Chains A and B, each alone.
Chain A
């Protein structure tokens, strides 16, 4: 047990927490549009934080340097594609006429 192991543990735990938060959010949120928020955002940070943990492991196990660059590329790809995918899904749903859920009694929100 050294400092690197502890850092790996912290980042892995953080990543798992956010991945689980995204999953719970998709189950718990009341309508499609509010489900986009946990799905699109928490997964991004979950990937980032788990890849940081694996980056530390790469240094610890002395892997080839392409392992580190591939981890960074995975983060880059998720950062570009996650918002684009959630935008594409939400746009299709919006054009299909799906009405967003508003809080009961929230008159300002339902004006739109």
Chain B
């Protein structure tokens, strides 16, 4: 197995970014800050999954990244709707 070390380094920086955003998710203070953090972490996860595919030379991971990007958006909207109307129906 040959690793793509440039992608590994980039992935490490993205994970550092996720850790920083987690600080904001923990501190709040409002629930909207936390949703924003969740959304930002989701975007960084899309980047990380794409990089993961290139790290191990398996670009099939891009399908997962694509789906994660769509799910991230739907999740954000669903949580907001739940907060606003207290139900999802």
A and B touch in their complex, CB below 8 angstroms = yes
B62 x A71 contact (CB < 8 A): yes
The answer to whether A19 and B66 have CB atoms under 8 Å apart is no
Q: What residues of chain A lie closer than 8 Å to B84, measured between beta carbons?
A: 92, 95
**What is the 8 Å Cβ interface bit string for chain B, positions 10-28, against chain A (1 contact, 0 not)?**
1001101110110110000
Chain A residues near B21 (CB, 8 Å)?
A: 23, 26-27
Q: Please, which residues of chain B bring their CB within 8 A of the CB of A64?
A: 59
Q: How many A-B residue pairs have CB under 8 A?
A: 130
If over half of B's interface residues share one DSSP class (helix, strand or loop), that class is named, otherwise mixed; here it is helix
Interface residues of B (CB under 8 A from A): 4, 6-7, 9-10, 13-14, 16-18, 20-21, 23-24, 30, 32-33, 35-37, 39-40, 43-44, 46-47, 50-51, 54, 57, 59, 62-63, 65-66, 69-70, 72-73, 76-77, 80, 83-84
A contacts, CB < 8 Å to B:
5, 8-9, 12-13, 15-16, 19-20, 22-24, 26-27, 32, 35-36, 39, 43, 46-47, 50-51, 53-54, 57-58, 61, 63-64, 67, 70-71, 73-74, 77-78, 81-82, 84-86, 88-89, 92-93, 95-96, 98
